[in-house]
């Protein structure tokens, strides 16, 4: 795994000083190594993207759409290898890895269609003032740096890469050092399709590589998905260059269960919201707000469901939930278990790491968690659920909104008028009603408050990579 960087249409060895160890989290052992890119190689990648931009942005929308469909088709042809890699490097059960791949394929297909529907470069703008004409142009924003996280490789990169290419931008993609291998498939596909050299560049590395990219003065835009701590650094880099930035950051999201909800359905939605991808989701609904009248029936069934969840290696057993993806995340979650014990929280199930040889933890439920608990307020990024009871709709809304984050929420009730009313009152970017967290490429993704800036997916994802130009002419 030495040729781990794709720059200017060529595979090159890493010339940085860091050696990246790629681990199997079910075993807690490395299975591959690669050398990080140097700062000079980041320079080369940005220069290649800059050189490729003039020709790429002048390609027709239909040409770009054809390339995007090629990416979708090629991902499908690599299905088994990519699913197996997700299972091995992320610890995802097979059904989760397959959903991820299907999501990436759908994203490229959607933006291919959207590219073909783009209006012509020029559109007349009617003016009230006589003696002038005006037209508007949608142009690619330019060279963009894409920095993606480790919890959903292939997916998050597709959410950025597909609309950027559709808009006519050229890109430098920096995958997470925890899961650096999956995104290399995009370089292989670019080779197969004959994508012009420099349109897509991939550089792997740790924080130093990410900093070299986000600080680079050759970029026109940054798009970052990850933690708030790193996101604030990326935002400072963007501010220093006075350039646009899209940030998809953390969450501490609520699932609100009202008295009239079907208990078994609610348990299904709650478990999916906290245990999918072992809870390693910015959208994890880790705060359970349950109305008083249903709490005594729901909490024991939820406890039983979490106890019965099959936790294990996706490569050797039928697993509902796999391990945490990295040792660092495993230690972080273990630290929150210790904090819960210090705070005296009531643990109904879990609250411990599992002695399985890898980075496994138990699905966990704490009851009657106080509002000032660290576990109620901080993003844990693991299968750790905190529950509180509420009396009224107004109380539930207030407690759900009492957070520095505002990414998602779920509302569970048979009263659809109330569901819509509560959804409108929640200060988040996406609300599900009586559903698991189904994410569709046609909808938007992003949050309010500390959960980020901008939107991905849907037409909003494309517009994030477009610049608007107006041309006004005096006829006199």
Annotated catalytic residues are 248, 282
In the three-class reduction of DSSP (H, G, I as helix; E, B as strand; rest coil), residue 84 is classed as helix
Q: Cα–Cα distance between 395 and 389 in angstroms, integer? A: 10
Which residues does 229 contact at the CB level (< 8 Å), separation at least 6? none
Nearest alpha-carbon partner for 303 in 382, 369, 385, 365 = 365
In the three-class reduction of DSSP (H, G, I as helix; E, B as strand; rest coil), residue 220 is classed as coil
Helices (H) and strands (E) in the chain, counts: 15, 24
Helix (H) or strand (E) holding 138: strand 132-140
Which residues does 158 contact at the CB level (< 8 Å), separation at least 6? 103, 104, 107, 108
In the three-class reduction of DSSP (H, G, I as helix; E, B as strand; rest coil), residue 459 is classed as helix
Nearest alpha-carbon partner for 108 in 73, 143, 82 = 73
Residue 73 CB neighbours (<10 A): 16
Q: Cα–Cα distance between 57 and 43 in angstroms, integer? A: 21
Q: Cα–Cα distance between 258 and 454 in angstroms, integer? A: 31
Write the DSSP symbol of residue 60: -
Radius of gyration of the chain (CA): 23
Nearest alpha-carbon partner for 225 in 150, 325, 332 = 150
Q: State the Cα torsion 412-416-417-423 to the nearest 10°.
A: 40
Question: Using N-to-C axis directions, what is the helix angle for 94-116 and 79-90, rounded to 10°?
Answer: 130
Residue 91 in tokens? 């610890």
> Chain-centre distance of CA 63, in angstroms?
28
Nearest alpha-carbon partner for 394 in 253, 251, 258 = 258
Q: Cα–Cα distance between 85 and 184 in angstroms, integer? A: 11
Which residues does 189 contact at the CB level (< 8 Å), separation at least 6? 70, 71, 74, 75, 78, 195
Q: Cα–Cα distance between 180 and 177 in angstroms, integer? A: 5
């Amino acid at each position: 795994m030495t040729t781990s960087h794709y720059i200017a249409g060529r595979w090159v060895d890493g010339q940085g000083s860091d050696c990246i160890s790629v681990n199997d989290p079910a075993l807690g052992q490395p299975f591959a190594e690669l050398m990080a890119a140097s700062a000079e190689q980041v320079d080369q990648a940005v220069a290649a993207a800059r050189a490729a931009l003039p020709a790429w942005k002048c390609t027709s929308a239909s040409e770009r759409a054809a390339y995007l469909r090629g990416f979708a088709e090629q991902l499908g042809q690599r299905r088994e290898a990519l699913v197996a890699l997700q299972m091995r490097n992320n610890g995802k059960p097979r059904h989760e890895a397959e959903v991820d791949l299907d999501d990436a394929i759908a994203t490229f297909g959607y933006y291919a269609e959207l590219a073909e529907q783009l209006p012509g470069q020029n559109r007349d703008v009617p003016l009230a003032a006589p003696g002038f004409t005006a037209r508007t142009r949608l142009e690619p924003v330019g060279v963009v740096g894409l920095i993606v996280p480790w919890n959903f490789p292939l997916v998050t990169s597709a959410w950025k890469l597909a609309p950027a290419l559709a808009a006519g931008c050229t890109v430098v993609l920096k995958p997470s050092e925890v899961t650096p291998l999956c995104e290399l498939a995009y370089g292989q596909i670019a080779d197969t399709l004959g994508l012009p050299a420099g349109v897509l560049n991939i550089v792997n590395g740790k924080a130093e590589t990410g900093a070299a990219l986000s600080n680079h003065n050759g970029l026109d835009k940054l798009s970052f998905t990850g933690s708030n701590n790193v996101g604030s650094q990326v935002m400072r880099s963007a501010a220093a260059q006075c350039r646009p930035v899209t940030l998809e950051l953390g969450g501490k999201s609520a699932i609100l269960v009202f008295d009239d909800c079907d208990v078994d359905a609610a348990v299904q939605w709650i478990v999916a919201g906290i245990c999918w991808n072992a809870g390693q989701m910015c959208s994890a609904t880790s705060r359970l707000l349950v109305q008083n009248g249903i709490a005594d029936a729901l909490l024991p069934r939820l406890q039983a469901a979490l106890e019965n969840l099959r936790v294990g290696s996706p490569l050797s057993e039928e697993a509902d939930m796999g391990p945490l993806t990295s040792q660092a995340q495993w230690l972080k979650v273990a630290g929150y278990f210790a904090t819960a014990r210090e705070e005296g929280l009531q643990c109904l199930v879990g609250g411990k790491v599992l002695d399985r040889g890898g980075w496994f933890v138990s699905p966990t439920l704490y009851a009657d968690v106080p509002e000032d608990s660290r576990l109620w307020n901080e993003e844990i990024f693991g299968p750790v659920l905190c529950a509180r009871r509420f009396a009224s709709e107004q109380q539930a809304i207030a407690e759900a909104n009492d957070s520095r984050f505002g990414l998602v929420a779920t509302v569970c009730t048979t009263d659809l008028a109330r569901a819509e009313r509560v959804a409108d009152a929640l200060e988040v970017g996406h609300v599900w009603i009586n559903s698991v967290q189904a994410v569709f490429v046609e909808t938007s993704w992003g949050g309010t408050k500390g959960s980020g800036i901008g939107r991905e997916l849907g037409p909003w994802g494309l517009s994030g990579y477009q610049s608007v130009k107006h041309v006004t002419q005096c006829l006199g």
